[in-house]
Amino acid sequence: MDSADAVNEIERAPDLQSLEALRVRLLGKQGEITAKLKSLGSMDAEMRATEAPKIHALREGVTNAIAERKAALEAAELKRKLATERIDLSLPAADSVSGTIHPVSQVLDELAEIFADLGFSVAEGPEIETQWYNFTALNMPENHPARAMQDTFYLEPRPGEDERRVLRTHTSPVQTRSMEAHGAPVRLIAPGRVYRSDSDATHTPMFHQIEGLVIDKAITLGHLKWTLETFLKAFFERDDIVLRMRPSYFPFTEPSAEVDVGWSVEKGRRVVGGQQGWMEVLGSGMVHPRVIANAGLDPDEWQGFAFGTGVDRLAMLKYGMDDLRAFFDGDIRWLKHYGFRALDVPTLSGGVGA
Ligand code: DAH
């Protein structure tokens, strides 16, 4: 069988099933090309030297042709589905529909709405992360004590990998990934799931964070404080939100500040707003020059601020839940009590609070 014949047959495969059959016939364990590859072992050196490149080229050509045909068949299939499976979205929902929006989804929508109004885009990153992005690029080199602080889940290395990847312990790696991908200036939020080996009433092994990052030429701590104040006022829908910034330490910011928000007691309940006491809500700071450099930007040219906070915790504070674990129990009674109607889409003009 020569390469042209094989490619010809692949290009004429009428559907995904026959393409798969062809793949098995050519490249499977007992496949024709696999047999040729195996035969290299019994050739003398001279023959192998002439045959090996031919066989490898054949395998590569066939592999590529299969991938191309597969993509074409899948695209055709999608087109067919889109044309035939129409849904009339204007039909009214049936009375029996009882699903509700989970408070975390609701709060994520609220946050995206608030920050979109301030000109922030939404960025995402992978939940399975390399140690470089989760730690090293964020100025936490190996043996840095902060690595041990985060109760990290490590994955078994895949064959050929010498480093274990991790379930990301925070959304901060999206900082580096976004600067790398899009350069500067940057104005983004990065919401998403994060993982730590920890479990009690206020900790679950998976929870949600949101990261903020602003990089430009002349960004200062003043911009950071204004942004956080504006965000928290919009989120809690109160003007009497008071912030206090306390000097702190994070490896990826310098200087670093923990941000407390004032609380007061209303109708026997502690609520955000006023100034009877303080509670910590955010970590933040000016992005460390090393973090900017690790993302491929020149820290003499670019600077900015970052912040990070727990989304579930924000939901608890705003909507008055007291046990984080209930968020992830999947108990329909809890969701009925705290969930949001599907059509309550948060808008700034209508009030983000549903
Ligand atoms: N990544 C930190 C954590 O998970 C939170 C954080 C603190 C994010 C300060 C930031 C920051 O961007 O500037 O504990």
Are 38 and 73 members of one domain? yes
Which residues is 247 bridged to in the sheet?
257
> 348 in a domain, yes or no?
no
pLDDT at 166 over 90: yes
- For 118, phi then psi, to 5°, come to -95, 5
Best CA proximity match to 171, nearest among 189, 148, 185: 189
pLDDT at 161 over 50: yes
Are 135 and 164 members of one domain? yes
List, for residues 12-31, the tens digit of each pLDDT value.
999 999 999 999 999 999 99
Query: What is the predicted pLDDT for the residue at 88?
Result: 81
What is the mean pLDDT of the segment spanning 258-286?
A: 94
Query: What is the predicted pLDDT for the residue at 223?
Result: 97
Higher pLDDT, 83 or 217: 217
**CA distance readout (Å), 327 to 197, 236, 352:** 17, 20, 20
Higher pLDDT, 348 or 130: 130
> 239 in a domain, yes or no?
yes
> 149 in a domain, yes or no?
yes
Residue ID of nearest Cα to ligand 1 atom 12: 307
| Whether this model's pTM surpasses 0.75 | no
Greatest C-alpha distance within the chain: 90
Dig out the tokens for 263 from the structure: 């609380």
Mean pLDDT of the chain: 91
- Residue 324: band (very low, low, confident or very high) from pLDDT cuts 50, 70, 90: confident
Are 113 and 43 members of one domain? no
Residue ID of nearest Cα to ligand 1 atom 8: 308
Cα–ligand 1 centroid distance for 257 (angstroms): 10
pLDDT at 326 over 80: yes
pLDDT at 264 over 60: yes
Are 164 and 232 members of one domain? yes
Q: Which long-range contacts (CB under 8 A, 24 or more apart) does 239-246 make?
A: 240/273, 240/274, 241/272, 241/273, 242/274, 242/275, 244/278, 245/221, 245/284
Which atom, in ligand 1's list, is nearest to the CA of 253? Answer: 13
Query: What is the predicted pLDDT for the residue at 66?
Result: 95
Query: What is the predicted pLDDT for the residue at 243?
Result: 96
Query: What is the predicted pLDDT for the residue at 92?
Result: 80
Boundaries of domain holding 42: 3-84
Low-confidence winner among 52-66, 273-287, 340-354 (lowest mean pLDDT): 340-354
For the chain, what is the domain count?
2
Instruction: Tell me if 260 sits within 8 A of 242, measured CB to CB.
Output: no
Residue ID of nearest Cα to ligand 1 atom 3: 170
List, for residues 240-251, the tens digit of each pLDDT value.
999 999 999 999
pLDDT at 333 over 60: yes
Query: What is the predicted pLDDT for the residue at 332?
Result: 82
CB neighbours (10 Å) of residue 233? 16
Residue ID of nearest Cα to ligand 1 atom 13: 284
> 136 in a domain, yes or no?
yes
Q: Which residues line ligand 1 (CB under 6 A)?
A: 170, 172, 211, 250, 253, 283-285, 306-308
> 64 in a domain, yes or no?
yes
Are 210 and 300 members of one domain? yes
CA dist., res. 34 & res. 240, Å (int): 72
Low-confidence winner among 46-60, 176-190, 287-301 (lowest mean pLDDT): 46-60
Secondary structure of 52-94 in HEC code, one letter for each residue: HHHHHHHHHHHHHHHHHHHHHHHHHHHHHHHHHCCCCCCCCCC
Query: What is the predicted pLDDT for the residue at 351?
Result: 62
pLDDT at 353 over 60: no
Are 220 and 74 members of one domain? no
List, for residues 193-228, the tens digit of each pLDDT value.
999 998 888 889 999 999 999 999 999 999 999 999
Are 126 and 216 members of one domain? yes
Are 125 and 259 members of one domain? yes
**Residue type for 286, please?**
M
List, for residues 109-121, the tens digit of each pLDDT value.
999 999 999 999 9
> 345 in a domain, yes or no?
no
> Percent of the chain having pLDDT more than 90?
73
Query: What is the predicted pLDDT for the residue at 354?
Result: 46
